[in-house]
Amino acid sequence: MTAPACMRGGTVRHPDRPTDGPIVARTAQMLGKPLIPWQRYVADVAGEIDPATGTYYYDTVVVSSPRQCGKSTLIDTEDTRNALLSPDRKIYYLAQTGKDAENHFKEYAEQLAKSRLAPLALKPRRSNGGMEQRFANGSFIRPLAITKVAGHGTQMDKFTLDEAFSLTKDVGNTILDGLTPTMNTRAKLTGVQPQMWITSTEGTAESTFFNDRLDRLRAGDVPRRTCWFDFGAPPDVDPEDLDEVMRWHPAAGLLWDTKQLRDFRAQFDDNVAGWARAFLNRRDTGMAERIIPADLWDATAIAPLNPEDMRGTPLVFGVDVDVDATHTSISAGMRLPDGSVATQLVTVLDGTGGAPAEIVRICRKYDAPLIMDCKGPSSDLHNRLRQLDEQGEPLLRFCELSAGDYLAVGQSYVSGLRNGVIRHAADTDLDLSAENSARSFSGDSWRISRRASMGLTSPLESAMLAAWGANHMPEPAGLQIY
């Protein structure tokens, strides 16, 4: 069998090797879901037998395909076949969360119980956290949360990482490091080559585990015992051209039709990148645009400022906390003699625990007021500082910042950069933060959001607040550096 036309890349069938594919196909029929052509092709190649050993040629199978393709169903069929291959086989289905794996497992167990293979299966165990389908021959299939496996040397004859896009490289590799040695032990014991299946739709820039593997395979760096399959639309296909999407989706017209595709499309609304990822199997690297374009950012950098040289300069400190309170950033905003404002990132602290002490110290040292949001991720820190302030001597002076002001802070900073009245002291943490910051709109105004789910926005936000504070400080002195 030749590869389906919608295969973008992958392993060709070696016709000189026998294959277990026909038995997988028969298993699928008996389960009531006969393989569709792409599933059959994968079964034939992945099931190739090494004439030298009489067991599976491949130890690793990588499948990249769009959503709603029949990936998880193919895994069920392969797992069932594998369970029946010999007694006491240990098969695991790992998904993003235990719940995903278990929900999928329940459907499979029901399907099996109703199928012609039911007589070979025992009653499934369905208790949460301990689900298992056992067969009369002693083999079992178990669903597991991917994270449960990390670092454990569980013995496995076959396991699948389904939805592998959800893994970072660290987590994925930790899992594999724990499992690979036990697979070698099982190979010796059972005489059957264990297989690891990694299946997924393309992910995002954060899918570092799957991206890295796919990129290497696509570049031709294919280990001898790995077979791989990459289905999806070519790069020039327009995601909105549903006829073309149908043409390149391996399950189109087989598991669903054009009308259903239109419904799938509607679910994604204006999220075109998400749609293209799901149904064209296109990686979603398109993070939102950065708030401050790189050229504007570079053009408005100035050399770092030394506070000792800034005596007499009105100064304010902007404070911001990242989502989930992972970091606290403090920036200084200074009004320079020419009327322009310079911001400088002072420090990025871990968490918020040590922040009050540092904020009090720095504000007192420079006798400068403080500006921060009293809502959102900063609200807890804000409350703690207010309480400190209310206990006895006034330690801090807060700049006023209404909710309406807060929404204008970002836009005002960007305009200031454009108009040459705001500049930022060069700092690599601040550069990274500017690179990582996108905007999310609420009505006409916007606030900062992260472009990727990693990276900090608090350094840039603290700078924006500091600039706002410097521009809105009450005029009289008293805000001087002593």
Ligand X SMILES: Nc1ncnc2c1ncn2[C@@H]1O[C@H](COP(=O)(O)OP(=O)(O)OP(=O)(O)O)[C@@H](O)[C@H]1O
> Site residues (CB under 5 A) for Mg ion?
71-72
Residue 30 engages ligand X in binding (rule: CB under 6 A): no
By beta-carbon proximity to ligand X, the closer residue of 255 and 374 is 255
Question: In whole angstroms, how close is the CB of 61 to ligand X at the nearest point?
Answer: 15
Query: Binding pattern to ligand X, positions 35-54, x when CB under 6 A?
Result: xx--x---------------
Question: In whole angstroms, how close is the CB of 157 to Mg ion at the nearest point?
Answer: 22
Question: In whole angstroms, how close is the CB of 17 to ligand X at the nearest point?
Answer: 24
Candidates 71-79, 175-183, 259-267, 405-413; binding stretch for ligand X (CB under 6 A):
71-79
Picking from 212, 221, 125, the residue whose alpha carbon sits closest to that of residue 165 is 212
Candidates 28-36, 380-388, 395-403, 463-471; binding stretch for ligand X (CB under 6 A):
28-36
Count of residues engaged in binding ligand X, rule: CB under 6 A: 14
Specify burial of residue 23 (Cβ count, 10 A radius: 0-12, 13-18, 19+). middle
Contact 328, 381 (CB under 8 A): yes
Q: Which does 174 bind (CB under 5 to 8 A by kind): ligand X, Mg ion, none?
A: none
Question: In whole angstroms, how close is the CB of 174 to ligand X at the nearest point?
Answer: 24
Contact 383, 319 (CB under 8 A): no
Q: Which does 329 bind (CB under 5 to 8 A by kind): Mg ion, ligand X, none?
A: none
Q: Which does 94 bind (CB under 5 to 8 A by kind): ligand X, Mg ion, none?
A: none
Residue 26 engages ligand X in binding (rule: CB under 6 A): no
Q: Which does 70 bind (CB under 5 to 8 A by kind): ligand X, Mg ion, none?
A: ligand X
Picking from 320, 253, 244, the residue whose alpha carbon sits closest to that of residue 282 is 244
Residue in the shown chain whose Cβ atom is closest to ligand X: 70
Binding positions for ligand X, 197-216, rule CB under 6 A: 201
By beta-carbon proximity to ligand X, the closer residue of 68 and 97 is 68
Question: In whole angstroms, how close is the CB of 472 to Mg ion at the nearest point?
Answer: 53
Specify burial of residue 114 (Cβ count, 10 A radius: 0-12, 13-18, 19+). exposed
Q: Judged by CB under 6 A, which of 7, 43, 69, 355 binds ligand X? A: 69
Residue 97 engages ligand X in binding (rule: CB under 6 A): no
Q: Judged by CB under 6 A, which of 70, 239, 416, 469 binds ligand X? A: 70
Q: Which does 73 bind (CB under 5 to 8 A by kind): Mg ion, ligand X, none?
A: ligand X
Q: Which does 353 bind (CB under 5 to 8 A by kind): ligand X, Mg ion, none?
A: none
- SS3 string, the chain, reads CCCCCCEEEECCCCCCCCECHHHHHHHHHHHCCCCCHHHHHHHHHHCEECCCCCCECCCEEEEECCCCCCHHHHHHHHHHHHHHHCCCCEEEEEECCHHHHHHHHHHHHHHHHHCCCHHHECCCECCCCCCEEEECCCCEEEEEEHHHHCCCCCCCCEEEEECHHHCCHHHHHHHHHHHHHHHHHHHHHHCCCCEEEEEECCCECCCHHHHHHHHHHHCCCCCCCEEEEEECCCCCCCCCCHHHHHHHCCCECCCECHHHHHHHHHHHCCCHHHHHHHHHCCCECCCCCCCCCHHHHHHCEECCCCHHHHCCCCEEEEEEECHHHCEEEEEEEEECCCCCEEEEEEEEEECCCCHHHHHHHHHHHCCCCEEECCCHHHHHHHHHHHHHHHCCCCCCCECCCCHHHHHHHHHHHHHHHHCCCEEEECCHHHHHHHHHEEEEEECCEEEEEECCCCCCCHHHHHHHHHHHHHHHCCCCCCCCCC
By beta-carbon proximity to Mg ion, the closer residue of 76 and 322 is 76
Q: For residues 300, 302, 304 and 308, what is the CA-based torsion angle, rounded to 10 degrees?
A: -110
Question: In whole angstroms, how close is the CB of 279 to ligand X at the nearest point?
Answer: 10
Candidates 66-74, 140-148, 185-193, 472-480; binding stretch for ligand X (CB under 6 A):
66-74
Name the β-bridge partners of 334. Answer: 315, 342
Picking from 474, 452, 164, 425, the residue whose alpha carbon sits closest to that of residue 314 is 474
By beta-carbon proximity to ligand X, the closer residue of 200 and 208 is 200
Q: Which does 35 bind (CB under 5 to 8 A by kind): ligand X, Mg ion, none?
A: ligand X
Q: Which does 255 bind (CB under 5 to 8 A by kind): Mg ion, ligand X, none?
A: ligand X
Residue 67 engages ligand X in binding (rule: CB under 6 A): yes
Question: In whole angstroms, how close is the CB of 99 to Mg ion at the nearest point?
Answer: 14
Candidates 31-39, 134-142, 318-326, 415-423; binding stretch for ligand X (CB under 6 A):
31-39
Q: Judged by CB under 6 A, which of 19, 60, 64, 73 binds ligand X? A: 73
Binding positions for ligand X, 459-478, rule CB under 6 A: none
By beta-carbon proximity to ligand X, the closer residue of 66 and 459 is 66
By beta-carbon proximity to ligand X, the closer residue of 63 and 359 is 63
Binding positions for ligand X, 232-261, rule CB under 6 A: 255
Name the β-bridge partners of 158. Answer: 91, 195
Residue 71 engages ligand X in binding (rule: CB under 6 A): yes
For ligand X, the binding residues (CB under 6 A) are 33-36, 39, 67-73, 201, 255
